[in-house]
Structure 1
Amino acid sequence: MATTEPTTEPTSARTVLPGRPPFTVDDLLKFPDDGNRYELFNGSLLVSPAPTSQHQLAITFMMEILLKALPGDLIPLTTINLKVSDKDFLIPDLVVVPRERARTAGLMFTPSDVALAVEIVSPSTKLRDRAFKTEAYAAVGIPSYWRVELGEGPVLYVYDLVDGDVYGPPAVHKAGTVAELAEPFPVSFDPAELS
């Protein structure tokens, strides 16, 4: 009688994505939940792995800071679906939106809902967060964008709209000093609190 030996060859799981490039937001909604973060820029797919624990801690600490500082009509949310167009879809690490809109938005938010977008820079997203998202958030009129660079101490870069769809040069706030911010709402904190 013949016996079959178990194979020891490694197997690799591949995600098969429905649709074809250029992708649309409707295509994206059919993607499997495989642990990756899928975003779209002009129909091109941007894929990020699940964030590290340090990344998640920074988001949690930022949420705590914002919850204490925000007026009652605003609320921070993490990883929302931000539909910019049929071929542009972003997932900011954290946003501040009107509390009432958070209750009624459902699956998607629009740029006009967002008072502040925050990105915590990771090795896999640094180019995107430093350049692409800075331009993308400005182009759709999000009033303020904060970029947190954990590897720098951490350092907080604050961008505010100066000309409708362009951010001015960022204000830089290093760990060990208190950032006193007035827009889009008053808040004070030391970026060191994010690590």
Structure 2
Amino acid sequence: MATIEPTRGRVVLPRTLTVDELLRFPVDGKHYELFNGSLVVSPAPTPLHQRIIFRLQRILDDAAPPELEPLSTVNVRPSNEDFYIPDLVVVPVAVADAVGLMFAPSDLLLAVEVVSPTSQLLDRATKPLAYAAAGIPLYWRVDPDGPTLYVYELDGDSYKEPITHKAGTTVTLPSPYAVSFDPADLIGRPVSNP
């Protein structure tokens, strides 16, 4: 188990962690995730981050067929050394009604991450690799700068090169179900085309 050095406030991990050990961590408003047993700690999301998640969830919920629903910040457990908390997912309602604490990656039709200053490398590099390896068919990355939506589709065991959608243009996506929106809607500022 991790120990905290009282004089430095530093967390010392003697080895890689398991999901069961991670679940004994305190509930303190931070996101604790595991990637191959390595701990990643993120602070609570910023107001802009929360706004994007909320607005995208509302857009997805309005477009969802009755058998599917978007949920925010759920637990996903691909293995005993991997534990993810995507910002937003789309899952079948029947699965959401039956699941306890953890979703399996196979339950997810879409995983979404909103890039924040503390998660740039994780959201742009680590999570696409991890989510593809877990078999999650779609990964959307929202970069608040712009904002810009990057859509990754699974092709075998990796994602194809992402398709980029910039603010100011209405995007129509067919998967996980038909939905249309302008990425600018996620931050609430209208963008005019030049």
Q: TM-score, normalised by structure 1?
A: 0.89
Indicate the residue corresponding to 2:153 in structure 1. 160
Indicate the residue corresponding to 2:48 in structure 1. 54
Cα distance in structure 2, aligned partners of 1:187 and 1:16: 43
Please give the per-residue CA displacement for 1:43-69, whole angstroms capped at 9, x wherever unaligned: 110010000000000000001100111
**Displacement of 1:13 after TM fit?**
9.6
Please give the per-residue CA displacement for 1:104-148, whole angstroms capped at 9, x wherever unaligned: 111000000000000000000010000000111111111100000
The code of the aligned residue for 1:38 comes to Y
Shift >6 Å, 4+ stretches: none
Query: 1:136 aligned to 2:130?
Result: yes
Bigger strand fraction: 2
Q: Which runs of 5+ in 2 are unaligned?
A: 1-5, 188-194
Q: TM-score, normalised by structure 2?
A: 0.89
Distance 1:12 1:120, change over 3 A: farther
Correspondent of 2:101 among 90, 107, 120:
107
**Displacement of 1:21 after TM fit?**
2.2
> RMSD value over aligned CA atoms?
1.8
- The structure with the largest alpha-carbon Rg is 1
The code of the aligned residue for 2:149 comes to L
Correspondent of 1:66 among 56, 60, 64:
60
Q: Which runs of 5+ in 1 are unaligned?
A: 1-10
Query: 1:194 aligned to 2:181?
Result: no
Indicate the residue corresponding to 1:172 in structure 2. 164
Cα distance in structure 2, aligned partners of 1:115 and 1:125: 22
**Displacement of 1:166 after TM fit?**
1.0
Distance 1:134 1:187, change over 3 A: same
Cα distance in structure 2, aligned partners of 1:189 and 1:12: 50
